[in-house]
Structure 1
Amino acid sequence: MKKLIYKIFILTIVSISLSSCEENEIPIFDTENGRSIAGFGGGNETPRIVFNPASETESLISIGVSTLSDNNRSVQLSIDNDKSTLDPSFYSISTLNPTIAAGEFTTDIVITTIPGTELPSASDVLILKLDSVEDSEILDNSVDELSIGLDVQCPSVDLSNIPGSYEVTNSSFADFFGETDFNREIIAGPGTNQFTIVGGTYITENAENLIFTVDPETGEITSVDETKISSQVSFGPNTYAFKPGGRVLTCVGIVELNLDFGGSVSGNPHDFDLIKL
């Protein structure tokens, strides 16, 4: 199992400008006997973890306090299901009830992402809340909620894995154009780092082959051939128009294209995604 450890480093609690309900109350920061303030470590409310479709990935999240204790201190965490958009099938959490051991400032939990051909959306988030820490306070300006985002990536890019037979999994205007054929072949060429989707996006629209170019380092789709026709029956003719954000995930055989139409119906961005059979 591949481990990509993203340690959310030790607390910045003591550097936070603190406030209190009582006027002129000044928190005392004595690591041995002082007031114990709790929060997530690092001061970053929007950390990101890696989702690797080919292997499990582990990330560490720290919770800590500003003072030491001779006793273990239990921590209570929860997931905000109303605000979280990341499906639980994509991750597991080691525990929502960790313990800060006696003589320690922090404890960690492990978030493990679960691989597969289904991918989470790049905009999905997991909302993790700090509900309580035994014998400690959570202040209004403590970091007590994390909005954890995802970076979906393969460990490497292998362009030789791209050619082959594919199924269209997402085509924004397929229903509108009455598409019924969702099988495509992708072949290498015609140029360096270029690939051709035979039949293009919309076969019922007499689309020409779609040629796209891939960055061999990142897997990002950097351009498409905008001279080729994408639709010419319902409207048009209209050419392919490139929009950034597309990519190939060669470790799981996924191609995701962001497109628009060039011509009379420009301004209609759409997705065209495929998975290798």
Structure 2
Amino acid sequence: MSESTAKGLRHLVHTPFFTFFTGIVDSHHVASQHTSGPLRLLEVGCGSGEFAQLLKEHYQEKIIITAIDPHSHAVEKAKTARSQFGIRFENLSLLEADASERYDIILFTKSLHHCEPLEETVVRAYDLLDEHGIFVAEEMNLEAMNEATAGWYFGRLDLLKAADQLDKFNKHAIAAVTNASSLTPIERWKSMLMHSLPSADLIIKLIRDKFGSGNTRVTATAPFLHQFLVESGLKDTPVGKNVLTEFMAQEDQAIRDNIIAPVGIFIVAEKR
């Protein structure tokens, strides 16, 4: 990913999940007999298309990507910025997608928790998958957050603010640092979240109910705090990229050492 990460933080921030996802794809499809032609992938909640671009650059002619998002401004930005990659960007939700299409992979990049109604979304994804197709979701397990983890995160965020490495006009950064001295770390965490989200337990249950528990695998030790660091306005500069790279390494090590709780989950389910 070295060439792509040079383009900015919003490419670099995908590194942990990109590594996980390409490993899943390579073992399930590329090295198997499940597909004979290019992989057909549908990304749900593509935003401005950074992850779709990374996948297209990585797999090139081995993959055909359709990327959808219900927000028109995000899709227009994706079309403008990534028109040269041969990715089909469409302004629609999964429930509005063509029901006659079939895919080898349906991917939710931090988007499944936004899809409503959630159960109907999971069912539609199942229906759009070919036999042996895989459903993959990168999600948050916000219930895992605790005082120690929040303190670890905000301690680093406060250092970056003091060093003028955060965009002072970013709404998430404002929420994260407002009244910092008068709130506990967990209170600051709750104030930073803009809206309530479905629990990870509910998301996992709905997927297992449709795909089957035996066909569903959950990785509950995934790093995710680095995503919030970027959303909190880390400046997209050479220093910012170095900070993010070091932060991701520290987060991964802190999870392995049981210093902080992992607040990310990766879910993979196969249609059989």
Provide the TM-score with structure 1 as the length reference: 0.27
Which structure ranks higher in relative contact order (CA pairs < 8 Å, sequence separation ≥ 6)?
A: 2
Q: Which has the higher helix share?
A: 2
Provide the TM-score with structure 2 as the length reference: 0.28
| Bigger Rg, which one | 1
Q: Which has the higher strand share?
A: 1
